[in-house]
Amino acid sequence: APSVGLYIDGMPYFERSVVDLDIAGINGIEILRGPQGTLYGRNSTGGLINIYTYSPLEYQNTIAKLSYGSRNDLRLGLSHYQKLTQRLGLHVAGNYHRNDGFFRNIATGEKADNLKSANAEMGLAWQAAPLWTMRLNVLFDHSTQGGYPYGKYNATNNTVEVVNYNRYSSYRRNVLSAGLNWLYKGDKLHFNSQTSFQYSKDKQYIDQDFTPKDLYFVITGLKQTLVSQELTLRSANNNNRYHWIIGAFGFYQKLNNSVETQFITKDFATPKFYNNPTWGGAIYHQSTYDITKTLHASIGLRYDYERVGENYTANKYNLSTGLASNVQTATYKDHMHFNQITPRFTLSQQISANKMVYASIARGYKAGGYNVTSTTQKLPAYDPEYNWNYEIGAKLAFLNGTLQTEMSLFYIDWKHQQVTTTVPGVGNIINNAGHSNSKGFELSATYRPITSLELQANYGYTYAQFLYYKKSATVDFTGNMLPMVPKQTMSFVANYTLSNVAGLDKLMFNAALTSTGKIYWTEDNKLKQPFYALLNLKIAATKGRFTWEVWTKNTTNTHYMSYAFVSSAAFAQQGKPFMIGTSLVFKLNP
């Protein structure tokens, strides 16, 4: 199960390689913290992101966008929402994006991270009956890009050297997603059925030594087929004091991985193939009782079952001749079963229409699995991860509702946490840490002192530590900070809008400052990114159906690491530098 679940119009996205998509017509984004297994189909331990797009029955428009920026960054977008009849709506959309790349590989003389991508969407919405609605959404996405602009990390002065490896590395991906949703909204009951299908196929080519020497080259491929079905039945919002939801979720996911490592100087290659069929099911329920008109108590329970399979074969052949060697083909076949019951408890007090406080306790769970880059029978399996999440918080409004605030305190206690590390010559491996925890707080505020001005501020602090993690007899990471978890996150956003000024319908100014750090990249905490900040600016002028934008990203050209790891040496990818660009947007119905 993913740590953070992603749903787009009810469709679950399991694989990390398919979540980087350009989605047209986003109507809203909902972010839920902590385990959400008693409300949604696929279990997740760290929270949930729900993305909702416009229904053509409720929104009709035609939108076109052309954007151009630094490094020949070109974006084209077109979307159309139309009612074909009073009960049938259609939407179609397409996006195209290209970029020359930001970082030059001095060994090849070419940009290492050029990009081309395109996608197409189609959707139908049908009011089949007064209480029944159907939505069908289909998306196809293609991406071709140069990849892995990694340079050696210099710990002495905390800098990243230029990209310098001899073979061009790249990544190609195709994704097809389709979802069919049926929704019944009656006076007493709501019923929802979500059928989803996803197929993805990618291929990546990596100069694995990341040096000008011709030592190692790796070719990997991933093919995914996913089918899932979710059914939920819930009580309608009415005057009853008791509310409930019950659901069932089932899925089948087939992953075919291939990893071929070419040892150039030794003139041989080792292609390995991993077939991982996984299927599972879950039932979940949550009951909410209104103790008083303002005090609400909820209890939820979920049961998960998952079967994970592993079929592994390995070969060896000569690079110069292409002939197989006499080494016997390695094979390995196994499967594992996992099941778990996870509860959730919530108590909330609605003080007034815009003031509430809450407390929650939830059990989190991630099933175990196999490391697809492993070559031994002892290394492939990793155990399930368990945690308890404790949270208290409040949502409060002041100054006649012009100031909206949210605050929360959290504590997470992990057992057997799944931690990803890079093993030289093998790849990324998931290990289980014995015991770890995470504690911190989050604050957010939105202030609208006048109609034309909106100010937003967010701050989060997280202290995540290994309480016990003895990786081997000689390696002990107990007391170290968890990798990939920023200690602080901060953002400040200001929007100022003027109406009917200088012959324009609207003139908007936007400034957004985001800050992150410190981030430890490795379990030993030797490789880290200090606290840094990025400033984005935008001015938009609207006249009739047209809006013209001028924008900058990373306006101060801050240097930072977006990713780092240790293989044969420490390597890092620099964050994207300063960009400037302009966009033209057309809306048929502004």
CATH number at residue 140: 2.40.170.20
CB atoms within 10 A of CB 237: 8
| pLDDT given at position 327 | 61
**In whole numbers, what is the pLDDT of the chain averaged over residues?**
92
Establish if 154 belongs to a structural domain: yes
Structural domain harbouring 39:
1-241
Establish if 529 belongs to a structural domain: no
| pLDDT given at position 166 | 94
Sign for the pseudo-dihedral over CA of 518, 210, 108, 206: negative
The predicted-structure confidence for 200-246, as pLDDT tens digits, reads as follows 999 999 999 999 999 999 999 999 999 999 999 999 977 789 999 99
Establish if 195 belongs to a structural domain: yes
Q: What is the 3-state secondary structure (H, E, C) of 452-471?
A: CEEEEEEEEEEEEEEEECEC
| pLDDT given at position 434 | 86
| pLDDT given at position 423 | 63
Establish if 484 belongs to a structural domain: no
| pLDDT given at position 4 | 84
| pLDDT given at position 374 | 52
Q: How far apart are CA 104 and CA 111, in angstroms?
A: 4
| pLDDT given at position 328 | 56
Task: Give how far the C-alpha of residue 481 lies from the chain's centroid of Cα atoms, to the nearest Å.
Answer: 22
Polymer length in residues for the chain: 590
Establish if 149 belongs to a structural domain: yes
CB atoms within 10 A of CB 449: 11
pLDDT < 70 regions, the chain:
1, 325-329, 373-380, 422-427
Establish if 222 belongs to a structural domain: yes
| pLDDT given at position 426 | 58
CA gyration radius, the chain: 26
Establish if 435 belongs to a structural domain: no
Q: How far apart are CA 133 and CA 123, in angstroms?
A: 13
Structurally, the chain folds into a number of domains equal to 1
Sign for the pseudo-dihedral over CA of 306, 201, 214, 210: negative
Cα distances from 128 to residues 8, 186, 470, 576, in angstroms, run 22, 14, 59, 48
Establish if 20 belongs to a structural domain: yes
| pLDDT given at position 160 | 94
Cα distances from 131 to residues 56, 128, 134, 192, 410, in angstroms, run 17, 8, 10, 12, 40
